[in-house]
Structure 1
Amino acid sequence: MRDKVAINVWDIWIRLFHWGLVAAVLMSFYTTKTSGVPFLFPVEVHAQAGYLILGLLVFRCLWGVLGSIYARFNTFLYPPSKTAAYSKALIKRQPGSYASHNPLGGWMVVVMLLSLSFQAASGLFLSDDIFFQAPLYGLLGEGVGSQLRTLHQWNSDLLIILIVLHLVGLVVHRLLGEPLLTAMLAGNKRFRQQPIDARNETLDASTLRLRALGVLLIAAGVVLWLWF
């Protein structure tokens, strides 16, 4: 049976956010491993990757309220009862189809965004004790700064676990016939029947463009303030 229902789920702004975040996170982790190599990647590059991540997260949080229907948090965050029911159906390999994130995926997004937010924000208070001091270094005192450094390191390990779980989730859904990676590249998902969370967009294209411009300006302002 051929697919019958095609839905544009991920708008261009969500897709740019997603792949921009992937690039910035990869650069952040890579520079963590190479910042000690002379003249290769100074610690400033690691910090700048963090500033980009923070700007992207500001964009995503605002777009999660003001953006297109499937980008909004209230579209894909479900109460515990529905999340548990979906989990049971997934174990039985009988999950329902969702245009946006399914109940488990939605909460996974929130956890990852929170972890990334803490990582980027805590980095603003740190120093390498030699050449570099972040924009807010010393603002909370030496004791709190030391605790944030420890938590920053621990949270980086948590992020690796979350990223691995995210990749495992992509594989699982691909095996269940849902190519999420393709959807994040093209923006469309195809279904054999109407998905559970199918909704009609309530905003016209011009309104979404104006909102996207405003959100982008705010996010860019945050990055520029930190960068310079």
Structure 2
Amino acid sequence: MTPHTVRIWDLPTRLFHWALAACVIGLVITAKVGGNAMEWHFRLGYAVLALLVFRVVWGLIGGRWSRFSAFLYSPARLVRYLRGNAHPEDNAGHSPLGALSVFALLAVLGAQVGTGLLSDDEIAFAGPLTRFVSNTVVGQATGYHKEIGQYLVLGLVALHVLAVLFYVLVRKHTLVRPMLGGDKALPVPATPSRDDALSRALALVVLAGSAGLAWWVSSLAMAAGF
């Protein structure tokens, strides 16, 4: 059977994926190092905030396979996939199982960034939103951010990496190459993602708006004198 080469991941989605991975690694390292590295921890946190906002918007208007509607599967379809009765398009973009991983990571990272904005180490660093909530909320957010949230992020990232290795090494699926080049060889034809100059320009506008929002949030800390 002749494979069909299809553009699955548009350039903005690919850049988001690798930028988010780099930022998460940097966040883990800076959190463990502490001290002056916390300055970079905050900067990377704002970068992740911008990336997450971008991904939410791009999940609504981005390329065909980057849209949430493309991998928002029903429970019945997930069960069929797990039983080996996959739909022909289940492995084009995110599979039903992979979709759960994506949504879980976005949710957990969102919670981690959100609680980070509300955290206070009571020494030198405080999130920009701490002045808008009570000390009780700050304490709860700080506890979650340092304990539960941190381990949830590490656990989900580890599961994500292990799942990719399983699909690549055991099921012989090509997952990494399409996230680098964008194209994927499929056994059946599929609608390609739009990935032209206009869509990339739109992504830049969305990213600029997302970065502007993250900058505004960070400016709240400067306004408070943190």
Task: Provide the TM-score with structure 1 as the length reference.
Answer: 0.87
- SS of the residue aligned with 1:129? coil
Tell me, yes or no, if structure 1 residue 128 matches structure 2 residue 127: no
- Give the unaligned 5+ runs of structure 2: 220-226
Q: CA deviation at 1:222?
A: 1.8
Letter in 2 for 1:111: A
Q: Which of 133, 141, 155 is 2:134 aligned to?
A: 141
Corresponding residue of 2:185? 190
Letter in 2 for 1:163: V
1:22-171 to structure 2, matched below 5 A, reads 22-36=21-35, 39=36, 41=37, 43-89=38-84, 98-152=91-145, 153-171=147-165
Q: CA deviation at 1:204?
A: 7.8
Tell me how far apart the structure 2 counterparts of residues 107 and 185 of structure 1 sit (CA, whole Å).
22
Tell me how far apart the structure 2 counterparts of residues 78 and 101 of structure 1 sit (CA, whole Å).
10
Q: CA deviation at 1:213?
A: 2.6
- Which digits, 9 at most, give the CA deviation of each residue in 1:123-176, with x for residues without a partner? 101112111121111321011111111221201101111111101111111121
Corresponding residue of 2:191? 199
> Contact 2:8–2:192 (CA<8 Å) still a contact in 1?
no
- Give the unaligned 5+ runs of structure 1: none
- SS of the residue aligned with 1:70? coil
Tell me how far apart the structure 1 counterparts of residues 106 and 136 of structure 2 sit (CA, whole Å).
26
Tell me how far apart the structure 2 counterparts of residues 142 and 113 of structure 1 sit (CA, whole Å).
27
Q: CA deviation at 1:103?
A: 0.7
Tell me how far apart the structure 2 counterparts of residues 213 and 48 of structure 1 sit (CA, whole Å).
20
- SS of the residue aligned with 2:5? strand
Aligned length: 216
Task: Provide the TM-score with structure 2 as the length reference.
Answer: 0.88
Instruction: Work out the percentage of aligned pairs sharing the same amino acid.
Output: 34
- SS of the residue aligned with 1:6? strand
